[in-house]
Chains A and B, each alone.
Chain A
Amino acid sequence: MSKQEEMDQYQSITNATVLIVDDNESMRDLLRAAIEQWGYQIIEAANGEEAWKIMQQPVPPQILILDWLMPKLDGLTLCNKIRTELATYPYIIFLTQVSGVTNILKGFEAGADEFLLKPVNFTELRIRILAGERIIKYLDIIADQKKELKKCQAYAKSLELKLAMPGAKSSG
C-alpha cells in the first residue's frame, strides 16, 4: 500500500467543520480543496474579524486553521479572544509564515493547540487535524458525562432531602 493510499484510509471521524482563516484567497482555495477531500465541512474567512463573527454563531466550527498576519484582526488576537471570551473550545491550528521560538510561544500562550509553518506540508496538516478531531470528540464526551453527573447529583440530593424529612421511612 502506498503512503497516499495509507493516508486515504484516515477520513474524518466526526465530519467536523473546519474554519479556514487566511487573507490570501489562493491559500484558502488550496486548503479547502485538500481538507474537503479528507471529509470535513469547510467555512472560510478572509480575516480575523470575519472569523470572530462566525465563531459567535450558535454552532461554531470545531477546528480552526488560522493564519497569523491578517488585516482587521490578526490571528494571534483572534486566538486570544476565542479562548477568553467563548465558552466553546475549538481546536486551533496556526498555519503561518511567522516563525521563531518566541512567536511559536506567543501562539501557544494565546491558546493555540498546534503551530505549523507555511509552506504547508499536507500530510502533517492532516495528521494534526485528525488529532484535533479526536480531542474535540473526547471533550464532547467529557461535557456529556459532566451533564449526566450533574443530573445524578441533583437526584441524589433530592433523595437525601426526602430521607431527612421527619417521618421518612426506609422502603428497603
Chain B
Amino acid sequence: MAKKQLNITVIDMKIMRGIFGEDSHGLQTYLKNFIRITAGILQQVNSALETKSDQAALDYFHQLKGPVGSIGFKKMYRLCEQCESLISAGDWVSAMETYAKIEATLKALEVELDKKFKPA
C-alpha cells in the first residue's frame, strides 16, 4: 500500500519533500524546532516593538525571514516584509497589528502540525 504523504498547507511541501523525502519524523522534528526558534525570535521582535527600537526590530526580522522564506512559508514571509516597511515608516500601531498576524500565522502552523501528526 502506498504511504500517505504528509501535507502541511501553509508551507511549500515541494521544498520540504526535496529535503526530507518521505521522512515524516525528520520533517516533524524540523518543523517543531522551527516553531520553537521562530517563536523565540518573535518574542524579541515584540520587545523591540514595545520599546520602539526600530533597528533591533529590523535585525530580528532579518533573522526571521531567512528560514521562513526558505521553507516556502509565504504568508508569514509577506507579513514580515509588511511589518519591516511599517517600522521603517515609523507606523508603530500598524506594525503591532501586523506583528499580531505574524504570531497567529505561526500558531496556525503549530495547530496544523499537531493535527497532522496526531497519533491515530
Contacts and interface: CB of A to CB of B under 8 A. Distances in A.
A69 interface: yes
B interface, over-half SS = helix
Nearest to B33: A29
B19 A33 contact: yes
Contacts of B19: 30, 33-34, 37, 122
Interface stretch (A20-28, A106-114, A138-146): A20-28
Give the residue among A4, A26, A30, A37 with the most B Cβ atoms within 10 A.
Answer: A26
Given A26-B33, A122-B15, A33 B20 contact: yes
A69 B37 CA distance: 18
B69 A118 contact: yes
Interface in B61-88: 62-63, 65-72, 77
A26 B69 contact: no
A30 B20 CA distance: 10
A128 B59 CA distance: 28
A119 B77 contact: yes
A72 to B, nearest CB: 14
A118 B65 CA distance: 8
Contact of A26 (B15, B20, B21, B67): B67
Nearest to A95: B66
A65 to B, nearest CB: 12
Give the residue among B18, B33, B37, B59 with the most A Cβ atoms within 10 A.
Answer: B18
Contacts of B34: 26, 29-30
A37 B37 CA distance: 23
Contacts, number: 59
A39 B67 CA distance: 22
B66 A27 contact: yes
B67 A27 contact: yes
B26 interface: yes
B72 to A, nearest CB: 8
B70 A119 contact: yes
Give the residue among B41, B63, B77 with the most A Cβ atoms within 10 A.
Answer: B63
15 contacts: A26-B38, A26-B67, A30-B19, A30-B34, A33-B19, A33-B30, A34-B18, A37-B21, A97-B66, A118-B69, A119-B66, A119-B68, A120-B69, A122-B15, A122-B19
B33 A97 contact: no
Nearest to B41: A24
A132 to B, nearest CB: 19
B18 A118 contact: no
Interface in A28-47: 29-30, 33-34, 37
Nearest to A38: B19
A34 B18 CA distance: 8
A64 B59 CA distance: 23
Nearest to A122: B18
